[in-house]
A and B are shown apart, each in its own frame.
Chain A
Amino acid sequence: MAVPRSRVDEIRNCITLTEYGVRNVHTTDFPGNYPGYDDTWSQKRFEKNFRINIINMDDSTVEFDMIGIDCAIANAFRRILLAEVPTMAVEKVFIYNNTSIVQDEILAHRLGLIPIKADPRLFEYRNSGDEEGTEIDTIQLQLKVKCTRNPKATKESSDPRELYVNHMVYSKHIKWIPIGNQADHFGEAVIGPVHEDILIAQLRPGQELDIVMHCVKGIGKDHAKFSPVATASYRLLPEITFLEPIEGELAEKLKKCFSPGVIAIDVLEGKKLARVANARLDTCTREVLRNEELKHKVKIGRVRDHFIFSVESTGILPAAVLVSEAIKVMMSKCQRFLNELDLAQME
């Protein structure tokens, strides 16, 4: 009956990748589940174990490790990043004139998906039923482009870039029209599309677009255009263990089975010996399990509570800010839940 302690540790901490499936996927360290383990919640222990390591960070992406936390909480951050961190996006499109070949609805859809550089924290949600919008909940943008013939074009040219003016409508053509005191308020940070080179439509001489857009604050749950991230996801830290030393030709083979840089080969007394150099780089292709010779000599798994997060921003806010926003959303949700609990207790 007694399961060796090392085995229990493995079940608790490690997800095992086998040839045909994943083992130990579920979290099992609930209090009282394992005799001899103290799994009761302790703030102290959590603070001791919990770590966040930022691996790299720039404006558009951030990669960080979150260690010592349950997957439910880590997943909650991921879900909030995708669906509940608010941004500003085009919601209402007023088409005064559209003689291009792009249909009105398709044009509106395309405009909606353009990321708008505006700090959503400075805006309020628009009330339902409000059609007009005010300076605190709406950004007004305008797109007014007319395509004409290029008078300077040479006669024999057939290249549209030379023949026409404004035949490609890009996001850079979108202009911000401040409402109320927005101009003073946001003076420095000009509001507009994040990227200049998003193609919206193609025009031919005589065709024109005359459009006013209203951007409102919203969340990704409502529509993907409000999602602040291109994607946010995590993976678990890979773990490679050798059940026996792997030497010689096999070591070379082993090296090929993993992503570059995962396995290093040391030469000890003229003998090649494989060593795990950087398991983090592995993409878990499980190639090693296809090799009959190596299959039983290597165990691959993933660390249950080591999350390697990768957040790619759409460019509206820096990725790091998004993470902290996500944490704030999480906190407010928790606060609301606590308040509900308090209310329920009082009744």
Chain B
Amino acid sequence: MDILAEEFGDLRPEEMAAPINTVEEKWKLLPAFLKVKGLVKQHIDSFNYFINVEIKKIIKANEKVTSDADPMWYLKYLNIYVGMPDVEESFNVTRPVSPHECRLRDMTYSAPITVDIEYTRGSQRIIRNALPIGRMPIMLRSSNCVLTGKTPAEFSKLNECPLDPGGYFIVKGQEKVILIQEQLSKNRIIVEADRKGAVGASVTSSTHEKKSRTNIVVKQGRFYLKHNTLSEDTPIAIIFKAMGVESDQEIVQMIGTEEHVMAAFAPSLEECHKAQIFTQTQALRYVGNKVRRQRMWGGPKKTKMEEARELLASTVLTHVPVKEFNFRAKCIYMAVMIRRVILAQGNNKVDDRDYYGNKRLELAGQLLSLLFEDLFKKFNSELKKIADQVIPKQRAAQFDVVKHMRQDQITNGMVNAISTGNWSLKRFKMDRQGVTQVLSRLSYISALGMMTRISSQFEKTRKVSGPRSLQPSQWGMLCPSDTPEGEACGLVKNLALMTHITTDMEDGPIIKLAFNLGVEDVNLLCGEELSYPNVFLVFLNGNILGVIRNHQKLVSTFRLMRRAGFINEFVSISTNLSDRCVYISSDGGRLCRPYIIVKNGKIAVTNKHIEQLAQGYRNFEDFLHESLVEYLDVNEENDCSIALYEHLITKETTHLEIEPFTLLGVCAGLIPYPHHNQSPRNTYQCAMGKQAMGTIGYNQRNRIDTLMYLLAYPQKPMVKTKTIELIDFEKLPAGQNATVAVMSYSGYDIEDALVLNKASLDRGFGRCLVYKNAKCTLKRYTNQTFDKVMGPMLDAETRKPIWRHEILDADGICSPGEKVENKQVLVNKYMPTVTQTPLEGTSQPQQPQYRDVPITYKGSTDSYIEKVMISSNADDAFLIKILLRQTRRPEIGDKFSSRHGQKGVCGLIVPQEDMPFCDSGICPDIIMNPHGYPSRMTVGKLIELLAGKAGVLDGRFHYGTAFGGSKVKDVCEDLIHYGYNYLGKDYVTSGITGEPLEAYIYFGPVYYQKLKHMVLDKMHARARGPRAVLTRQPTEGRSRDGGLRLGEMERDCLIGYGASMLLLERLMISSDAFEVDVCGQCGLLGYSGWCHYCKSSCHVSSLRIPYACKLLFQELQSMNIVPRLKLSRYNE
């Protein structure tokens, strides 16, 4: 009975007997969550925070510009606004612009940034409002985008797809995504062992102004401070003294008075004694001598001591605030660091770098704010420089700074950074490449997948397993399946379905609340309290706030306040029992996700709530406000007991998972029954789902992309998942339901090759459209000439356009609907031969000369012209875009894949009558070899086939949701009911012999994707063709009609085999054979039978060598090395 009482606590017997109430449809919270948060909400939230809040803070921090030339002159920013996206039609006339127009016209979707300023002109003080200082690229669907709050009907008016997630930028007509960047958390103490096993602590501090890294290292039992600005490691006791803690006792009190802690720290104190440093002045002098001098310019000269004090106050542990050189908080912080190291030394408990509680995700908003602040500072310093230069000069007009505010610096800075992806900020020594990527529009899924992608800062080439492996703390936050193979494996990750990334929050109210809840301020403590065994330290965003005795009460009250809505729902609080700390976090970039609250073994959410949700009386926010659901970040998750299913709830349970399948991401969510598959197969499918052709958006026909693949008849999958419904994959599908027979057929199906039914292809299976574009601009040049387009050239005799110009309209641009063949002209463009301004004095010819530079079509197969767009781009040049279309039916070699990482190429196309058929007369669309199954272990595909077959017979869609979905047993019962075999294996007759097959065939529909890899784009052969100019060797690559390389390994084979003549033929005769005249006397190359060195022709003989060899000799000669050829007759 006692045991029972222990287990069930204070539950009454009837409560124990009552069955746990189940909330069957709690998954309905998920669409509600996605409705408020959306799949790319993290990007949009972050950007919104930047343009509405952060940008104002940046202005505030850099509000005043002054000049050294005139102390009276100043410029002060009063406010800043980011407007709505617009385009300048003509001078000072603007008009709102839609994202799609920017895409088509190769423009940037950006809005003006305007400021209110106050400045002096002469002795006047002037206030100017709404002055533009530059343009900000606007994220689609952010608060300043024209798309926000629009209905689907309005979306279609703007040529925009309502299902498009947004969250990207349009820069110079290209869609660019700023990838989520993962990095180690700032301002947190990380205790780590180095390669030799010595434990040290490090903190990367970061504030708006500075970024620095502070290390505590142990050398021979002594503690040192290691910092970039100090030329060598400084004993820690000296640092303490330099910060004003002169008494050794005080230092030890702060670090801890336990026996072993004191013993560990004693050598450090001793060292300080040996150095004869006892006072702050001495210590500062000592530190001052070690400061690395960097800035020589600016500011009045400081003494070394002042410099050291400045350094300790602002650069070491930047994030700990120091006011008027009161180092108290910083000393305590450093003491805590040392204490951590000492405690870790004993039991080797170091922190885990890869733990997701220690990671922060940097989003578009944060990255842009760094960039903007940098550009804004540059802008201001430029203004200051101009002021310094102009003010001293006496001018008629008074200095007016407004005239010198140029917009293009900020505009170009932003546009260039986003379009190239190079984020180089001198201030933070940041130089990152590949921050942005072009949004992949291969399919809807590939675009969505890109928006949830996270790239890590680790080097890809490093062969480390730690950061690449799956971390337990990733559970529910990052998708365990979706990562690329190869070098970026495990470094590029994707968000799970319900993950939310926090943005920065005001910490003032939290500090106030913490003090009200009994936290004692560190500044009021003597130091020894820190190491009391029953006292917990309280941290807020990495800074020590104070100490508390009753931490449980603090945490529970804090959570209560949060659930009641007094504090922001994204503030997290968690206890770390081993470090005896309470961590409160309100910083941005933390991963968090919602959970259902469980109290005393009872779920807060009831069926009634869900019912109201379904009826629309309630939304997700209401669930949050009524403390039914709350967000937990990774650290807080560690402090909770979360039940996966309702039946697993015990007395200790604090939370319940909303739905387990949400731990997968968008791409993995497409896979039916992924929990039955071998895990790498799901990873492969995640990569392949992005290559599948299908539909890319409702506006796909209005787009003019460089490359677009569409399926002629896309279908929604027979076996769907909850994720598929949630992300609207059904509305924009990428694949077709093919009837598959799993059997061997003809031998053209080995190694995963598929056999396709010809009649299915005739009827449109796998038929796809390939769109490409051709572009041309008509420019104006500086010498008043401009490009022009001329009508087709007529044949002299027939008066008909010549073949190359056959498809041109009278205006010289091809007309829609025409068929274009290789080398035909799309735009008959002419360019002036002289585009530079002629020199003064030389007379300009009356009629400028033109040279034809036609835009021709290149491609082995014909295309059709879908549409022609004539517009102008941002530089007011004419822009002509031509969309070309090809329709392709599947052929041998085209690649297909099911949703289980089972890819294969088409190996054979078989007429329908040769295909096997079952009793009901059905022939398969695809025959797949059964050898694909045993080693791959994709049981999910087998179940998909069963569920699909039952669904077809029953006229409904089955679910293959991860960790759920239709049960195999029920599905098989359905099969029996409709007169099919229980196991899905049918009696099948051969179409060739007419006799039944000896085996039963697994037969049914499976969702197949057509992948973008098609033979037509890859096939290549060459007999003769172009050669490179320099070496006269055949060119390289398919696009240049290049040769097929006989590489080193192939060469080695031929050498080994002794096929010397073949080798000669391959490497010289078929490549770059060249006749040279060599003088036998001097061994140098001659020319046309004459040796220029010997001035004779008597010893000159002609021989064949590779051109590259001749080139080598000449290049060597040019650098004063004489290669000589020794000639002798082989028969002598």
Show the binding face of A for B, using Cβ within 8 Å.
15, 17, 20-23, 25-27, 71-72, 74-76, 78-79, 82-83, 95, 98, 101, 103-106, 109, 113, 220-221, 223-225, 227, 231-236, 259, 283-287, 290, 302, 310, 312
Contacts and interface: CB of A to CB of B under 8 A. Distances in A.
B871 to A, nearest CB: 20
Contacts of A103: 769, 864, 866, 885, 887
Interface in B843-896: 864, 866, 885, 887
Interface stretch (B175-183, B397-405, B825-833, B988-996): B988-996
A153 to B, nearest CB: 17
Nearest to A281: B979
Interface string B990-1025: 010111111110000000000000000000000000
Nearest to B980: A285
A25 B995 contact: yes
A224 B912 contact: yes
B758 interface: yes
A284 B918 CA distance: 11
Contacts of A95: 817
Given A25-B995, A83-B912, 8 more contacts: A17-B987, A25-B997, A95-B817, A103-B885, A113-B764, A224-B762, A232-B921, A286-B982
Contacts of B758: 224
Contact of A25 (B866, B921, B976, B996): B996
A225 B759 CA distance: 8
A310 to B, nearest CB: 6
B993 A109 contact: no
14 contacts: A25-B997, A25-B998, A71-B993, A76-B994, A95-B817, A220-B759, A224-B912, A227-B912, A259-B979, A283-B980, A285-B981, A286-B1000, A310-B921, A312-B921
Contacts of A109: 712, 764, 767, 887
Given A283-B980, A287-B976, A224 B921 contact: no
Contact of B999 (A22, A220, A227, A287): A22
Contacts of A79: 913, 991
Contacts of A76: 994
B913 A83 contact: yes
B999 A21 contact: yes
Nearest to A236: B996
Nearest to A229: B921
Interface residues on B, range: 35 or more
Contacts of B866: 103
Contact of A287 (B885, B920, B982, B994): B982
A72 B913 contact: no
A21 B976 CA distance: 18
Contact of A21 (B917, B981, B995, B1000): B1000
A105 B989 CA distance: 36
A232 B991 CA distance: 11
Contact of A283 (B923, B979, B995, B1000): B979
A70 to B, nearest CB: 8
What DSSP secondary structure best describes chain A's contact surface?
mixed
A104 B817 contact: yes
B996 A223 contact: no
B701 interface: yes
Contacts of B864: 103-105
A74 B1000 contact: no
Contacts of A105: 864, 885, 887
A6 to B, nearest CB: 22
Contacts of A104: 817, 864
Given A22-B987, A233-B917, A72 B982 contact: no
Contacts of A23: 998
A223 B998 CA distance: 31
B996 A15 contact: yes
Contacts of A227: 759, 912
B1129 interface: no
Contacts of B981: 284-287
Contacts of B701: 101
A83 B911 contact: yes
B840 interface: no
Contacts of A284: 919, 981, 987
Contacts of B912: 82-83, 220, 224, 227
A98 B913 contact: no
Contacts of A285: 976, 979-982
Contacts of A27: 995
B971 to A, nearest CB: 15
A87 B968 CA distance: 44
B395 interface: no
Interface centre among A104, A221, A283, A312 (most CB of B within 10 A): A283
B758 to A, nearest CB: 7
Contact of B763 (A22, A83, A113, A231): A113
Contacts of A290: 982
A314 to B, nearest CB: 12
Contacts of B919: 235, 283-284
Interface in B913-953: 913, 917, 919-923
Interface string B749-764: 0000000001100111
Nearest to B988: A22
A225 B761 CA distance: 11
Interface in B730-787: 758-759, 762-764, 767, 769
A71 B887 contact: no
A332 B37 CA distance: 70
Interface string B958-999: 000000000000000000100111100001010101111111
Interface string B87-126: 0000000000000000000000000000000000000000
A82 B993 contact: no
A26 B712 CA distance: 42
Q: Which 5 A-B pairs have the closest CB atoms?
A: A75-B994, A233-B921, A283-B979, A224-B762, A224-B759
Contacts of A20: 1000
A74 to B, nearest CB: 6
A313 to B, nearest CB: 13
A24 to B, nearest CB: 9
A83 B923 CA distance: 14
A201 to B, nearest CB: 13
A134 to B, nearest CB: 26
A156 B885 CA distance: 38
